Amino acid sequence: MYIVPETAIADILTREAAFDAVENVFAAMAAGDAYNFPVIREAIGHEEALYGFKGGFDGKGKSLGLKAGGYWPHNMERRGLINHQSTVFLFDPDTGKVAAMVGGNLLTALRTAAASSVSIKHLARKDSKVMGMIGAGHQAKFQLRAALETHPFEKVIAWNRSPDRLASLAEVAAEFDLPFEAVTLDGMQAADVVISITSVFSPVFGAAHISDGTHVACMGTDTVGKQECDVDLVAKATVFTDEVAQSVTLGEAQHAIASGARTHDDISEIGAVINGTHSGRSSDREITLFDGTGVGLQDLAVAASIVEIAKAKGIGTEVDF
């Protein structure tokens, strides 16, 4: 078994490698070559923790395994550890023998950012100039950095409930020599691409804040009950997702499905656009919405890429297991 600890991931995983792994696995999912297992997520009744497993099998990329972990809300205050903790386990699909154990914390941020970037590459207007961010928490700077590397934006605008946290996004814009402006939610109408990455359970924005022709990546809703945008936007937009089964149950589309504003058949997998079996954006005035729910196969694909690079660079440890 090959072990790549959390502390080594930053030196191994590039955003390009994460992007390629996620783009390839979305394509494999849409082609029917890869599938995710049902997600397990449990409140364990200890430390108020949420713990679970996301797994799957990619028959094309030959990744089999799971990400185990979750959210320990008191880690930071009590132990100085980050609240999200996870580890990826990969297995040899030919034998079932465990093949690798990989730190999953930074991996999660980079694979989530890669998902919205893949959606920007395939769904945003090619003449997009203004990148808009809704939310400025832990994930947001990874999201913004990946978006700015994917497309040549000319300006960044951002909104957060507490505007003082926007400084972290202004720093990312400065890394790319781009102007940065804090805006109201109405100001988000100036954006050509919007990423929302908040942890809210009732909508903070809707169709009134999004202009025609915009691409919106809703990345914050990954659990039953969460909701970042009003159903009116999901009803108005052409909706894409990583996996329809997750989108309609625990993704942003869950509320539009429950209210009857949308049906399963209205939602397409981004992998179909990557594979060319869906034509994607159909006009410059269309609003496209990517419901990024986060699937286990993303974790496995990126972990497999990490193991490959780690072995080539001589980082990590081989253990007889």
Is residue 141 among the annotated active site residues? no
DSSP characters over 274-299 = HHTSS-----TT--EEEE----HHHH
Contact with ligand NAD (CB under 6 A): which of 62, 97, 161, 264? 161
Question: Of 126, 65, 14, nearest to 299 (Cα)?
Answer: 65
Length of the chain: 321
Residue facing ligand NAD at closest CB distance: 137
Binding window for ligand NAD (CB under 6 A); candidates: 55-63, 208-216, 217-225, 272-280 = 217-225
Note whether 316 binds ligand NAD by CB under 6 A: no
> Can you tell me the distance from the alpha carbon of 51 to that of 295, in angstroms, rounded to the nearest whole number?
15
**H or E, element range at 159:** strand 155-159
Contact with ligand NAD (CB under 6 A): which of 55, 65, 292, 316? 292
Residues paired with 41 in a beta bridge: 52
Which one, 152 or 225, has the nearer CB to ligand NAD?
225
The contact pattern for ligand NAD, residues 172-211, with x = CB under 6 A and - = no contact, is -------------------------xxxx---x-------
Residue 318: partners with Cβ closer than 8 Å, 6 or more residues away: 1, 2, 3
The contact pattern for ligand NAD, residues 118-147, with x = CB under 6 A and - = no contact, is -----------------xxxxxx-------
> Can you tell me the distance from the alpha carbon of 37 to that of 279, in angstroms, rounded to the nearest whole number?
28
Provide the annotated active-site residues. Answer: 67
Contact residues: ligand NAD, CB under 6 A: 108, 112, 135-140, 160-162, 197-200, 204, 219-220, 222, 226, 292-294
